[in-house]
Structure 1
C-alpha cells in the first residue's frame, strides 16, 4: 500500500494511515489503498483482528484531503463519496473486528471512522468533529447514522454547526469506547484485540452481521440521498471557495 503501512504481529494486523504531513487526510488513492486492504482482509488467515491508526503524533485522520477536493467538480465529489462509502462499508462489514486507535485529531470522515469500527480507543488530547458544513458541503454518507448514537437533536447540533468536541464529550455521547493518554493508545488497542481473539471467530462474525442489520434500517437510501446532496453543493462553487479560503489561512499561519 502506497499511502498506508501494514504490519502483522501475533495475529493482529496494524494498518497505519501514512500521510502525517497532511494530518493523515485521505486522497482518492489513499482511500483506494485502504479499500483494497479491507477487501483482502476478509480472506486473510494470518490475522484475526485489525487495528487502524494514523502515522505521527498530530492526527489520526483529518478526513478527505482538502487540497485535492478543492479541485473537484460535482461529478468528482460524487465519485469520491461513493468510493469513501465503499471503504466505510468494507470496514463496517469486515469479517474481522476492527479497532480504531485514535492517536490524534479525528475530523470529518476521520471522526466517523471510530464510530464505524467495532471498538475505539481515543487519545485524551485528540480534537474531534464533523466540520464538513464549514467547507460548504453537507455532512454525508455514514454520518447518516450518527443520530442513532447521540439522538436526533444532538446530531443536528454536531452536524449543523460543525464545531469540534473533546474525546470526553464523544465518550459521553456514546461515539467512542475508551479514552487513554496518547502514549497508551496502541497498547490499549492491542489489549482489546487480544480480548477479541478469545472469542469464537464464527460467533463474532455472525454477531457483527446482526449489529450492522440493527443499524442499517433504511440506511441505503440515506446514503444515496446524502451523496446526491454533496454533489449538488459542488455545483454552486461555494465548497471550492470555502476550501481554498481555509487552505490560504492555513498557509498564512504556517508562514508566520
Structure 2
C-alpha cells in the first residue's frame, strides 16, 4: 500500500505495520478516520502475506489522543449513533484480524485509543504511557469496546476507569494485566519488533487457527453489550450536558493555546 495517512506495509518476514496518522500530533480519531482505519484493517485481513500486524501511532508521545471532541460536540442523538458506530466498526475490524495483532503504546492512550488497544491481542507500553477513559468528564459514557476492559483488568478496575475518568500509568497497567510488557521509552520499537518477529516465525496456519479459536471463544454477551451501548451513547445526547461540557473543554483548550 502507498505511504499515505493511516497506511500499512508488509515486510519480507510477514510483519504488517499499520501506522495511525490523523494529521496531528495527538492522533485524534474522527468518524472519517475511524472508517478509513476500519477499511485498512479489512484490507489487512485479506493479505495472505501478513503473519502478524503491528499497530502504532505516527508520533512518539501519543498512540491515540481520543475522539474528535469538535465533532462530538456537534452531534445529536441520531448522528451520535452514526459516530459511535464508525468507531465500533474500526475496533471490530481490528478484533477480526485473522493473525495476531500487537499494539505499540507510547505516551497517552485516551478513550477510543484504549478501546482500539483493547481490541488487539498483545499490548506493549513505553514507561511513559498513560491510559484513561475520560468520557464521563464530558457528559458521555464509555461504550463499545469499553466492554472489553472488564475481561482484561477485572470488573472492579474497569468500573473504576470508566466511572472516575482518571488515568493509570504504565506500571499500573502492567500490574492490572492491561499490557503484557513495559519497556523504556527508547526501547519500545525494539520490544515490539522482537515480539512481532517471534510470532511471524511460527507456522502461519497454526497461528490463524489459534486466532479463530480465541475469537470464537469470546463471550457472546460482549457483542450484545457493545451493540446496546451504541443506543445508550445516542441517548446521552438527549441531554444538553455533552454539548455544554465539550464546548467548555474546547473553549478552555483554545484559551490555553493548545
Equivalence map 1:176-215=2 (5 Å): 176-215=179-218
For residues 251 and 235 of structure 2, the distance between their equivalents in structure 1, rounded to whole angstroms, comes to 24
- What secondary structure does 1:52 align onto? strand
With 233-242 and 203-212 compared, the bigger mean Cα shift is at 203-212
For residues 157 and 228 of structure 2, the distance between their equivalents in structure 1, rounded to whole angstroms, comes to 21
Q: Is the 8 A contact 1:51 1:99 kept in 2?
A: yes
The equivalent position to 1:242 in structure 2, one of 235, 245, 251, is: 245
TM superposition shift of 1:22: 5.1
Equivalence map 1:23-38=2 (5 Å): 23-38=26-41
The equivalent position to 1:55 in structure 2, one of 58, 63, 68, is: 58
TM superposition shift of 1:168: 0.8
TM superposition shift of 1:7: 2.9
Query: CA, structure 1 residues 126+91, in 2 after alignment: closer, same or farther (shift >3 Å)?
Result: same
TM superposition shift of 1:131: 0.8
For residues 90 and 5 of structure 1, the distance between their equivalents in structure 2, rounded to whole angstroms, comes to 15
Q: Is the 8 A contact 1:129 1:164 kept in 2?
A: yes
For residues 245 and 155 of structure 2, the distance between their equivalents in structure 1, rounded to whole angstroms, comes to 27
1:172 aligns with 2:175: yes
1:126 aligns with 2:129: yes
For residues 209 and 197 of structure 2, the distance between their equivalents in structure 1, rounded to whole angstroms, comes to 19
For residues 173 and 108 of structure 2, the distance between their equivalents in structure 1, rounded to whole angstroms, comes to 13
- What secondary structure does 1:146 align onto? helix
Q: Is the 8 A contact 2:51 2:200 kept in 1?
A: yes
Unaligned runs of 5+ in 1: none
TM superposition shift of 1:192: 0.6
For residues 56 and 93 of structure 2, the distance between their equivalents in structure 1, rounded to whole angstroms, comes to 16
1:74 aligns with 2:96: no
TM superposition shift of 1:30: 0.9
For residues 198 and 208 of structure 1, the distance between their equivalents in structure 2, rounded to whole angstroms, comes to 16
For residues 60 and 45 of structure 2, the distance between their equivalents in structure 1, rounded to whole angstroms, comes to 29
TM-score, normalised to structure 1, is 0.93
For residues 80 and 200 of structure 1, the distance between their equivalents in structure 2, rounded to whole angstroms, comes to 39
TM-score, normalised to structure 2, is 0.93
1:46 aligns with 2:49: yes
TM superposition shift of 1:46: 3.4
For residues 25 and 154 of structure 2, the distance between their equivalents in structure 1, rounded to whole angstroms, comes to 32
Q: How many residues align?
A: 255
1:148 aligns with 2:151: yes
For residues 2 and 65 of structure 1, the distance between their equivalents in structure 2, rounded to whole angstroms, comes to 21
RMSD between aligned alpha carbons?
1.7
- Look up the match of 1:7: 9
For residues 48 and 2 of structure 1, the distance between their equivalents in structure 2, rounded to whole angstroms, comes to 22
Unaligned runs of 5+ in 2: none
